């Protein structure tokens, strides 16, 4: 009897330890964000692992958690009745078996739809999740890169994060000037994790960054460049000098000078992800999270 009780105690202690470690993983990821390093490259999955499950779905998110992804990039839009849901497009047409604009549909209406998979198959059992459901799923385990909320639904998203106790789990981002964001959101800009986008389309990208540096001083930037001659690429040296992180977007050619996931699959990861890391990327966004993680681990680029 004593042996059985001892085994039960050991199992409970082990389960508790695993749970505690899992629940603290998001805090570790945030520390890596705040202290970017070329020894630990953050893996960011685009719309969840959408090759495995419908994009922006809870299953696609759980897959990322299981793989060991650090940050999941997800898209959110506001319904007619004021709920933020995980949805990339303005309409539900492409990703569900329903039709209509998100802002013209209520949450209850959208709940009746089912998500399609990447091949467009309409018979998934999965519903469109809300931001609240997403944050409760990821709580303690992984961080979320909030897309489509920029300049529009920061306040609404913040309220959900506050309610779920996940303010420090979410990264807001955008490419509006700081003055625009301050006018819209006031002191809220000091309470969220904000990652400005360095795009060539910015009128004066250096002045744009300087204003952020002298105000909220972000510790990470999303940097887009279609070739190595544009100003945003040249600014990578400034980011490194200031110990700011650089998120590279390896999704399609114009975002990363052609150093894409596709190139990694066709010609080997060194020519794509390896090149981005060599140029200073401390985080990489991918549509191939499993393959990216295996590559980074093989290269010793996931040292805690």
In a domain, 231, yes or no: yes
Nearest by Cα to 42 from 246, 233, 241, 197: 246
Distance CA 150, CA 112 (A): 27
Q: What percent of the chain has pLDDT over 90?
A: 86
Any idea of the CA torsion for 227, 145, 78, 186, to the nearest 10 degrees?
-90
In a domain, 303, yes or no: no
What residues form DSSP beta bridges with 52? none
Over residues 57-107, the pLDDT tens digits come to 999 999 999 999 999 999 999 999 999 999 999 999 999 999 999 999 999
Instruction: Report the helix count and the strand count for the chain, using DSSP H and E.
Output: 14, 9
Handedness of CA 262, 267, 273, 275 (dihedral sign): negative
Minimum mean pLDDT range among 12-21, 163-172, 291-300? 12-21
272 or 124, higher pLDDT = 272
Q: Count structural domains, the chain.
A: 1
Is residue 3 pLDDT above 90, yes or no? no
CA distances for 89 relative to 80, 95, 250, angstroms? 15, 8, 21
In a domain, 116, yes or no: yes
Minimum mean pLDDT range among 44-53, 101-110, 117-126? 117-126
9 or 37, higher pLDDT = 37
Domain containing residue 194: 2-298
Distance CA 34, CA 71 (A): 14
Q: What is the pLDDT of residue 12?
A: 46
What residues form DSSP beta bridges with 171? 145, 193
pTM: 0.91
Domain CATH for 169: 3.20.20.190
């Amino acid at each position: 009897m004593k042996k059985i009780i001892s085994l039960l105690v050991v199992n409970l202690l082990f389960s508790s330890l695993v749970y505690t470690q899992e629940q603290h993983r998001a805090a570790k990821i945030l520390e890596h964000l705040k202290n970017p390093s070329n020894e630990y490259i953050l893996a960011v999955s685009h719309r969840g692992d959408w090759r495995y499950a419908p994009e922006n779905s809870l299953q696609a998110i759980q897959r990322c958690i299981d793989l060991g992804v650090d940050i999941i990039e997800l898209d959110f839009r506001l319904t007619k009745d004021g709920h933020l849901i995980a949805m990339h497009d303005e309409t539900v047409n492409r990703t569900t078996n329903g039709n209509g604009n998100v802002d013209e549909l209520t949450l209850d209406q959208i709940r009746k739809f089912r998500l399609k998979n990447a091949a467009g198959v309409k018979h998934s059992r999965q519903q469109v999740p809300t931001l609240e459901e997403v944050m409760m799923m990821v709580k303690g385990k992984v961080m979320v890169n909030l897309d489509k909320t920029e300049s529009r639904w920061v306040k609404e998203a913040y309220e959900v994060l506050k309610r779920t106790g996940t303010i420090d789990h979410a990264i807001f981002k955008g490419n509006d000037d700081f003055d625009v964001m301050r006018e819209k959101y006031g002191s809220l800009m000091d309470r969220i994790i904000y990652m400005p986008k360095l795009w060539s389309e910015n009128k004066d990208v250096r002045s744009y960054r300087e204003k952020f540096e002298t105000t909220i001083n972000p510790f990470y930037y999303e940097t887009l460049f279609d070739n190595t001659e544009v100003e945003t690429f040249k600014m990578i040296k400034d980011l490194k000098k200031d110990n700011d992180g650089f998120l590279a977007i390896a999704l399609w050619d114009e975002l990363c000078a052609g150093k894409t996931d596709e190139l990694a699959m066709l010609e080997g990861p060194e020519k794509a992800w390896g090149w981005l890391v060599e140029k200073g990327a401390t985080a990489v966004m991918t549509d191939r999270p499993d393959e990216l993680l295996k590559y980074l681990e093989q290269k010793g680029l996931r040292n805690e």
